[in-house]
Structure 1
Amino acid sequence: MTSIIRIAGICGSLRRESANKKLLLRTQQLCAEHVPEARIDIIDWSQLPIFNQDLEGDPPKSVIKFKEEIGDSDAVLFATPGPLKNAIDWASRSKIGDRGDVLSGKPTAIIGAGPGTAPGSSGSGRAQLVLRQTLACLNMVAVNTPSVMLTGAYAAFKEDGSLENKKMEEKIVQLLKELVGLHNRCKI
C-alpha cells in the first residue's frame, strides 16, 4: 500500500472572499475526487507575524506550527498572487526550530486567479513568474505545465464552488497529477 502524498496548500491572499482562496478550495475538492493518491491540506498562515530576523532564536508558536505543517508535507501548492513573501521568508529560514528550511527540495506547483477579463489578461501570470524565480532560488522543483491561470475570477465560480469552465478544472486535475508524478520522481 502506498502512502498518501500530502500537499500543503498555501493561498497568497488572506482575504475571506479571495478568488485565489476559492480556487485553492476547488483544487482541494478536485484532488479528492480525481487524484486518490494525494490530498491537499490548506495551511492557514494568517497568524504569522511580519518576518523579523530578531525572532529567529525564539520564534512565535505560529511560525513553528507553520513550519511543521510544511515540513510534514510531501509537496507544496501555491495559489498566487498575494503577499506570500512573508510566509516564504519564515518557512525558508534554516535557524528556526528543529525543521530548518522546510521548502528546499520540495516539489511544488502554482495556481492563480486574476480579475482581468480583457484580451491578453494573464490571470496571475506575472505573479506566477516572479514566484517561480523565488522558488528556484529556494531549491524547490516546480511543475511547469500545465499552467493554471484563471482569468475573470469574480465570475468564474458557480454557487457550489465549482468552476464555470470545465476545461480549467481538467487542467487543475492534470496539474495535480503532474505534481504527484514530480513527487514520485524526486523520491527516487
Structure 2
Amino acid sequence: MTTFRIAGICGSLRKASVNKKLLLRAQQLCAERIPSAVIEIVDWSDIPVYNWDLEENPPESVIRFKNDIADRDAMLFITPEYNWSVPGPLKNALDWASRVRLGDRGDVFKGKAVAVMGASPGSAPGSSGSGRAQLILRQSFVSLNCYCINLPTVMVTDAYNAFNEDGSLKNVRLENNIVSVLEQLIALGEKSKS
C-alpha cells in the first residue's frame, strides 16, 4: 500500500510558534492514528519577495517549494492570524508557487485537496483562534482551484496555554477534530487523484 503524503505548511516562521506546535501535533496524531499517511513538513523560509522580473530565472527556493507541493498528495496549512488576515509571507509563497510557467510542474494546485487549521494566543471573548485568517486562506484556495475541507474546524484559542508538556492539546475535542480533518483530507485527496 502506498503511503499518502501530506505537505505540512506552517504560516509562521518562528521556531517557538504555537502554530508550529499545532503542525507538529497534527503530524504526531497522523503517525499514531492514521498509519497509511504521513505529514511531511515543508520549509519555505527562504522564499524571497515575489518579483515578476525573476520569473525567467526563478530562485531555487521557489522551485523547491513548488516541487514540494507537486510531490505531495494533499496539503495541510496551519495559519496564524495577523491583523485578522493571512500572514504576508505565506501569501507571498503561495503567489510564487501559483505561477504556472515556473519550473516544469505546471499548475501544482489544480485539484489538490487542502485543509486549514490554526492557533492564536488570544483568550479574550471573540478570539477566533485564527478563524478569520483561515477564511481568507480558504478564499485563496478557491482561486487556485483546490478542494478544501470545511468541517470540522480546528481553531485553537489561548494557544500558549492550550498544549500539554508532551505537545498534545489539552482539549480532547480539538485532538479528535484534527484526526477527523486528516481522515477527510486523505479521502478527498484520494478521490481527487483518481
Same fold, TM-score > 0.5, yes or no: yes
CA distance in 1, matches of 2:109, 2:17: 25
CA distance in 1, matches of 2:44, 2:148: 21
So what's the TM-score if we normalise by structure 2? 0.93
| Alignment match, 2:158 | 152
Name the aligned partner's letter for residue 131 of structure 1.
Answer: L
The question of 1:127 aligning with 2:133 is answered yes
CA distance in 2, matches of 1:68, 1:41: 13
What CA RMSD, in Å, does the superposition of the two structures yield over aligned residues?
A: 1.0
CA distance in 2, matches of 1:53, 1:38: 36
State how 1:41-52 maps to structure 2 within 5 Å: 41-52=40-51
CA distance in 2, matches of 1:126, 1:47: 26
1:60-93 Cα offsets, whole Å, 9 max, x none, are 1111111111110010000012331011011111
So what's the TM-score if we normalise by structure 1? 0.96
The question of 1:183 aligning with 2:182 is answered no
Give the secondary-structure state (helix, strand or coil) at the position aligned to 1:25.
helix
Name the aligned partner's letter for residue 186 of structure 1.
Answer: S
Pick the aligned partner of 2:170 from 158, 164, 169: 164
1:14-36 Cα offsets, whole Å, 9 max, x none, are 01111111100110000000111
CA distance in 2, matches of 1:42, 1:187: 21
| Alignment match, 1:106 | 112
For structure 2, the residue ranges without an aligned partner over 5 or more in a row are: 81-86
Identity %: 60
State how 1:81-92 maps to structure 2 within 5 Å: 81=80, 82-83=87-88, 84-92=90-98
Detail structure 1 runs of 4+ shifted over 4 Å in the superposition: none
Give the secondary-structure state (helix, strand or coil) at the position aligned to 1:88.
helix
1:133-159 Cα offsets, whole Å, 9 max, x none, are 110010000001110111111111112
Work out whether residues 92 and 104 of structure 1, in 8 Å CA contact, stay in contact via their aligned partners in 2. Answer: no
For structure 1, the residue ranges without an aligned partner over 5 or more in a row are: none
CA distance in 2, matches of 1:150, 1:113: 4
| Alignment match, 2:8 | 9
| Alignment match, 2:63 | 64
Give the secondary-structure state (helix, strand or coil) at the position aligned to 2:7.
strand
Compute the displacement of 1:120 (Å).
2.6
CA distance in 1, matches of 2:151, 2:36: 20
Give the secondary-structure state (helix, strand or coil) at the position aligned to 1:65.
helix
CA distance in 2, matches of 1:12, 1:133: 16
